[in-house]
Structure 1
Amino acid sequence: MTTLPAKRSVLRDTRFLRLWLAATASTVATWALPFILGLAVLERTLTASGLGVVLAARIAGFLVAVPIGGVLADRYSRRAIVFWAGVLSLVSTPLVAFGGLPVMVIASVLLGAGQGACRPAFQALTAEVVDGSQRQQANAAMTFAVRVSTLVAPGVTALLANVVSTSAILLGTCALWLIVALVPPRGASQTPRERGKLHQEFLDGLREARRHPWFLAGLGALALTAAVGQTAIAVALPLVSRDRYGTEFVLAAGTTAYSVGALAGALIIARWRPRNQGWAAFGGLALFGFAPLSMLFPVHPVVIVAAFVAVGIGIELFNVPWFTAMQREVEPDKLARVSSLDFLISYGLAPVGLALIVPAIDGYGLSAVLAVCAAMCFLAPAAAALVPSSRHLSVKTPRSA
């Protein structure tokens, strides 16, 4: 396998920088779509119900493509899968930008499929391009770029909306998908293997995941935290900002604080190598409980902002070691399939939380729902940390990241 020289900084290697640029472009383009289409609603070129249908179609395409993309990325060249995923997203974006609603829905399914297929391929390609001793730094560099983009991009997009149409901005994301398709480096040549049916190969990936109890425990904690913690941010924070404080400032400050904290967390974990990396990672994930907890009581807005900074730090203290552990521990020829399981469960359950929280608030009240969300965010990572192999995110004890 071709890897980076062990003692050379990953940030100075051209092959990694190409991978970093492509992965960042993919994530930014994926994140940008809901925001850009939201501007279309404000311009009255798309109805709110139409927005919901288009975004639901995108999510459906994403969730269907993630496991298929994982199987294909383990079967064929990871670089090739990234290329075709980028091409699919590239050609479907103009149809989303300029088509009528039925065409937009079909195109959104295809766009979501492209977005989903490249995720596990990028995870596996990172393991091929980057030496094991440098993967934590590499994963931190990728997530840092994503957080910078999500912090800066809304303002840039709003400024562009004053100059060009929303459709033109959406069409501009084609440049990002062109980067995804053309820029990534080639990885290692994969050893030819016997190929079965798609569902059988996915089940092989599931069996590989079951060999790693820390992964199953962590995936459960991550999925639960995403379902209730992210939901608390998405739904409860706007309500608290409006009803308790009477201003949008708390909403804006909280979401910005989350991104700033994530930037800080990426910088910390790029260099920090905790002795018990799994416990440290699950401790970071448990910090998500401070988001709903801070909104439970009538505290000063500064407390909410500080809590969201801590949440942002914590999620990256979890994410980076989590991705690095998968790249280190999982069998290389099954890595994309296991990564697809990670994305499928963690992303797939988030909409369930969004669907349930509003009826729960109507039935039991905001305070009760926030209390339950906080408890679940604290307890789920703590339970995952009790699994013996979770201490080092490895069935072997201990190994360096």
Structure 2
Amino acid sequence: MPGPAEESEPVTAPPARAPARHVLRDPSFLRLWSGSTASGLATWALPFVLGLAVLDRDLGAAGLGLVLAARTAGFLVAVPISGVLADRYSRRAAVLWAGLAAAVATPLVALGLGRSVALMAVAAAVVGAGQGACRPAFQALTAEVVDESRRQRANAAMTFAVRVTTLVAPGLTALLATALSTTALLLLTAALWLVTALLPPAGRPGPAGPHHRVPFHVEFAEGVREARRHPWFLAGLGALTAVIATGYSATGVLLPLISRDTFGTEAVLAAALTAYTAGALLGALVVARWRPRNRGWAALAGLAAYGFAPLSLLLPVHPVLVVAAYVIAGIGIELFNVPWFTAAQREVAPDKLARVSSLDFLLSYGLAPLGLALIAPAVDVLGPVAVLGGCAVLCFLAPALAALVPSSRRFSTS
């Protein structure tokens, strides 16, 4: 029998857990978001500003191609290195040093303008390396700063910022160019890289104590093995790479030509690209709240929707249908991107996330230049109808095949 004191003791319910703060009101995430947005602005601005330099005759077309190729090479070299270093030490430190490297190299691009294309190319390679080093580190840092329940919204906010940048930055840069020189615009991008380096918050500290030096290739191979533990990741990455290397490349090369030769105006080109960005903005807003039960299948269906873009260029349709196809493609790509990033942050071992993310960027974005280089010769040999038709089929088929992998249904092996 209980004693008198026990009888009189009140029974209280456990304290209610405070509701999680909305991710857009979280100061740490806002710093992360702002730093990532600054890196996106700086990344986008360099080729556009150098294009203005070509118009001003400060840089030739061949020089522009060399500088941009050097930047791409720097990106591809840095992505796997950054993945290893961000997992070995600190994701925040990786962002800091990558941003500082790009901030220091960008003024050298400006210094070489009109003087030395070689200097510009070397500096652009360093800028590209900074860009590449940021990508996997930001993916892993997001998982450290934002708890799992809010990551999908966080990733949607990140991608929304990228699309807004794509939509408004050309007009803003053109407006600034009326008052500022090309050199001044390049220095502004250096300032953006400084923001990227200094603004993001600290995540978890790196490994404590002395780190046993393991060869780079061994650590990278550990990331590859971690990726192989997730069949849905390998299947989705294969589908994404196929869509970017074929559909994205084909439309990038052929849309300007079809806009000019078939429709007789560049307005279709401008309208389609704007529609794609607008669709992506809408997709980011939808996926910030949408939680389908079979999230992997829904994401892969969104990825497959890009096939409507080459399909619309293949058929003799009204320009409105081309624009509509690009809206659908834009919506679909974000219905894939946001759950894809969120799933990687949830499923991949935290200490290997940067390496797995680097593998993602290395294959999906790294093969894009190869696809662009091969599309024009393929058109010369096979004709635009065969190329667009084949690319549309691959855009629909690759995600469908990825969906056949059992764990792809929910982007989870559990």
Distance 2:307 2:77 in 1: 30
What is the one-letter code of the residue matched to 1:245? Answer: F
Establish whether residue 255 from structure 1 lines up as the match of residue 273 from structure 2: yes
Once residues 316 and 93 of structure 1 are traced to their aligned partners in structure 2, the CA distance between those partners, rounded to angstroms, is: 30
2:237 aligned partner:
219
The equivalent of 1:317 in structure 2 is 335
2:125 to 101, 106, 109: 109
Matches within 5 A, 1:355-394: 355-394=373-412
Task: Give how far 1:191 is off.
Answer: 3.7
Q: Letter of the aligned partner of 1:353 in structure 2?
A: G
- Counterpart of 1:145? 161
Q: Which position in structure 2 is the counterpart of 1:268? A: 286
**Within 2, Cα distance between the matches of 1:370 and 1:158?**
33
- Find out whether 1:171 has 2:187 as its counterpart: yes
Structure 1 regions of 5+ residues with no counterpart? Answer: 397-401
Paired with 2:213 and 2:353, the residues of 1 have a C-alpha distance of 16
Deviation at 1:194, TM superposition (A): 4.0
Letter matched to residue 336 of structure 1: A
Question: Could you tell me how far apart the structure 2 residues matched to 1:87 and 1:224 are?
Answer: 34
- Cross-structure match for 2:27: 14
The runs of at least 4 aligned residues of structure 1 exceeding 3 Å deviation read 190-195
One-letter amino acid matched to 1:362 = D
- Deviates most, 306-315 or 181-190: 181-190
- Matching of residues 168-317 of structure 1 within 5 Å: 168-192=184-208, 194-317=212-335
**Would the alpha carbon gap of residues 195 and 327 (structure 1) be closer, same or farther in structure 2, given more than 3 Å must change?**
farther
Matched, 1:53 2:53: no
Q: Contact between 2:89 and 2:207, CA under 8 Å: does it hold in 1?
A: no
**Whole-Å Cα distance in 1 between the matches of residues 205 and 118 of structure 2?**
41
Superposed CA RMSD in Å reads 1.0
1:68 pairs with one of 69, 77, 81: 81
Q: Give the Å deviation of 1:175.
A: 1.6
Kindly provide the amino acid, as one letter, of the partner of residue 182 in structure 2.
T
CA distance in 1, matches of 2:348, 2:54: 44
Provide closer, same or farther for how the CA distance between residues 158 and 368 of structure 1 changes in structure 2, counting only shifts above 3 A: same
Given that 1:214 and 1:389 are in contact with CA atoms closer than 8 Å, whether structure 2 keeps it comes out as yes
Query: Which residue of the partner structure matches residue 27 of structure 1?
Result: 40
Whether contact under 8 Å (1:261, 1:313) holds in the other structure is yes
TM-score w.r.t. the length of structure 1 is 0.96
Give the structure 2 partner of residue 335 of structure 1. 353
Matched, 1:89 2:107: no
Residue equivalent to 1:122: 138
Task: Give the secondary-structure state (helix, strand or coil) at the position aligned to 1:173.
Answer: helix
SS in 2 for 1:227: helix
Q: Which amino acid aligns with 1:89?
A: A
Q: Deviations over 1:256-279 (max 9, x none)?
A: 000000000000000000000000
Aligned residue number for residue 364 of structure 2: 346
Q: What's the counterpart of residue 155 of structure 1?
A: 171
Q: Which residue of 2 aligns with 1:399?
A: none
How big is the shift at 1:33? 1.2
Q: Could you tell me how far apart the structure 1 residues matched to 2:354 and 2:19 are? A: 24
* TM-score normalised by L of structure 2: 0.93
Would the aligned equivalents of 1:120 and 1:340 in 2 still touch at CA under 8 Å? yes
Residue 57 of structure 1 deviates from its aligned partner by 0.3
Report SS of the residue matched to 1:128.
Answer: helix
Gaps of 5+ in 2: 1-17
* Structure 2 letter corresponding to 1:250: V
- Indicate the percent of aligned positions where both proteins have the same amino acid: 70
Asked if structure 1 preserves the Cα contact closer than 8 Å seen for 2:88 and 2:207, the reply is no
> Among residues 48, 52, 55, which one is paired with 1:42 in the alignment?
55
Give the whole-Å Cα distance in 2 for the aligned partners of 1:341 and 1:6.
Answer: 36
In the TM superposition, residue 233 of structure 1 has moved relative to its aligned partner by: 2.4
Q: Shift of the alpha carbon at 1:6? A: 6.2
Matched residues in 1 for 2:247 and 2:49: separation?
24
Partners of 1:107 and 1:279 lie apart in 2 by 42
Q: How many residues align?
A: 392
